[in-house]
């Protein structure tokens, strides 16, 4: 296996920002302008990059240039390397007003739905050049947090969720914080004959259900609870997003289970009735997880503060509107 240090020493690292800009703009002239370099310099760099990668990277198609398949595959890795390089050489201070940091958070869809309503305006005001990418939690891993390709994982504070990420709660390589408490409630169409009424267990189980399901194969809180209690319901739909369930129940007999914060958020949009299911469910505390090695990074400290405040504000506003 080739030594990575030897590989780096054999490559002119000044080509990296030029490669990044060429991949972004797919245009030599435009890349030269953005880099404040001459067109001939960028053209010469492109020739060197083609030789290094053994690929044309940019090909002429009519009046425009297009990225090759190899170039398209390079884009996410090059962007991440540029970001990490910037972090490596930046000072220990972090000024969100001037920063152009790219953050990546893996989280549940319903957390994204709640938080972004508050996080968007706050970031535009406080960090106009900061970029935030939200991705689903299934498929995320401990390694991504340690490598810095992922900044934060937000998930229910349950053993199966920790296990799915390959992280142990007592693992010293990671830090975590429970920042939001929630519980699951049932929803149905507000105009249904049983709307506003309590359902007994038999009525509840005989109705068709729409159920959130995890794409990593692990059981959800709903599935675990039904199994533990020996109950069987008629599940008609299984969907990978909590945010789809309020839409599914409207105009039907269907019942769904969603986090209370999400139900209160969507009761203002959809005609849904919120009620407690006829059996006890565990609470769903949400936890933020990050790498211990990056615990004191000023930019990540700021990010956690932003998520914490956005979550608190979103939940407070949701409950206030419902009262």
Using an 8 Å Cβ cutoff, are 277 and 204 in contact? yes
User: CATH number for the domain including 76?
Assistant: 1.10.10.10
Domain carrying residue 18: 4-89
Assess whether 46 and 167 both reside in one domain.
no
101 falls in which pLDDT band (50, 70, 90)? Answer: confident
- Note the pLDDT of residue 1: 46
Cα separation, 287 vs 159, in Å, equals 12
Boundary (domain end) residue, out of 39, 55, 89: 89
Assess whether 175 and 189 both reside in one domain.
no
Is residue 305 a part of any domain in this protein?
Answer: yes
14 falls in which pLDDT band (50, 70, 90)? Answer: confident
Q: For the ranges 42-46, 137-141, 178-182, 311-315, which has the lowest average pLDDT?
A: 137-141
Using an 8 Å Cβ cutoff, are 242 and 213 in contact? no
Q: Span 79-105, mean pLDDT?
A: 77
The contacts found for 198-205 with CB under 8 angstroms, 24 or more apart, are 198/275, 198/276, 198/278, 199/275, 199/278, 200/278, 201/231, 201/278, 201/279, 204/233, 204/255, 204/277, 204/278, 205/231, 205/232, 205/233, 205/234
Q: Could you give the maximum distance between any two Cα atoms of the chain, in Å?
A: 76
315, burial (CB in 10 Å: exposed 0-12, middle 13-18, buried 19+) = buried
The SS3 call for residue 176 is strand
Assess whether 242 and 301 both reside in one domain.
no
Is residue 95 a part of any domain in this protein?
Answer: no
Rounded to 10 degrees, what is the CA torsion of 185, 191, 197, 198?
-30
Is residue 97 a part of any domain in this protein?
Answer: no
119 falls in which pLDDT band (50, 70, 90)? Answer: confident
- When mean pLDDT is compared over 49-63, 92-106, 223-237, the highest value belongs to 223-237
Q: How many domains does the chain have?
A: 3
Q: Which of residues 117 and 207 earns the better pLDDT score?
A: 207
Please provide the average confidence, as pLDDT, over all residues in the chain.
85
- The model's pLDDT over 257-279, given as tens digits with 9 standing for 90+, comes to 999 988 988 998 999 999 999 99
Could you write out the DSSP letters of every residue in 8-52? HHHS-TTHHHHHHHHHHH--HHHHHHHHT--HHHHHHHHHHHHHH
Share of the chain above pLDDT 90, in %: 33
Q: Which of residues 249 and 79 earns the better pLDDT score?
A: 249
Assess whether 163 and 306 both reside in one domain.
yes
- When mean pLDDT is compared over 30-34, 105-109, 128-132, 133-137, the highest value belongs to 128-132
- The model's pLDDT over 159-171, given as tens digits with 9 standing for 90+, comes to 888 888 888 888 8
- The model's pLDDT over 201-212, given as tens digits with 9 standing for 90+, comes to 999 999 999 999
Q: For the ranges 84-88, 283-287, 288-292, which has the lowest average pLDDT?
A: 84-88
């Amino acid at each position: 296996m080739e030594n990575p240090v030897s590989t780096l020493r054999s490559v002119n690292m000044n080509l990296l920002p030029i490669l990044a800009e060429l991949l972004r703009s797919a245009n030599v002239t435009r890349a030269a302008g953005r880099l404040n370099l001459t067109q001939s310099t960028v053209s010469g760099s492109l020739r060197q990059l083609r030789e290094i990668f053994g690929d044309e990277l940019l090909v002429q198609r009519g009046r425009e240039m297009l990225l090759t398949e190899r170039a398209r595959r390079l884009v996410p890795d090059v962007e991440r390397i540029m970001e990490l390089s910037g972090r490596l050489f930046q000072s220990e201070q972090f000024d969100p007003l001037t920063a152009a940091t790219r953050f990546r958070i893996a989280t549940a869809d319903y957390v994204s739905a709640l938080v972004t309503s508050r996080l968007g305006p706050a970031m535009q005001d406080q960090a106009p050049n900061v970029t935030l990418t939200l991705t689903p939690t299934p498929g995320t891993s401990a390694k991504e947090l340690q490598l810095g390709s992922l900044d934060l994982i937000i998930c229910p504070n349950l053993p199966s969720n920790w296990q799915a990420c390959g992280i142990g709660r007592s693992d010293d390589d990671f830090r975590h914080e429970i920042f939001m408490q929630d519980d699951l409630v049932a929803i149905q169409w507000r105009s249904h004959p049983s709307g506003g009424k309590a359902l007994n267990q038999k009525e509840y189980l005989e109705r068709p259900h729409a159920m959130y399901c995890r794409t990593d194969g692990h059981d959800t809180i709903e599935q675990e609870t039904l199994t533990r209690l020996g109950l069987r319901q008629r599940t008609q739909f299984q969907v990978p997003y909590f945010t789809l369930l309020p839409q599914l129940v409207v105009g039907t007999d269907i019942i769904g289970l969603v986090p209370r914060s999400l139900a209160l958020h969507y009761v203002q949009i959809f005609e849904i009735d919120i009620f407690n299911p006829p059996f006890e469910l565990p609470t769903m505390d949400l936890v933020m997880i990050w790498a211990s090695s990056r615990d004191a990074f000023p930019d990540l400290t700021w990010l956690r503060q932003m998520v914490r405040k956005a979550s608190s504000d979103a939940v407070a506003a949701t409950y206030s509107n419902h009262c």
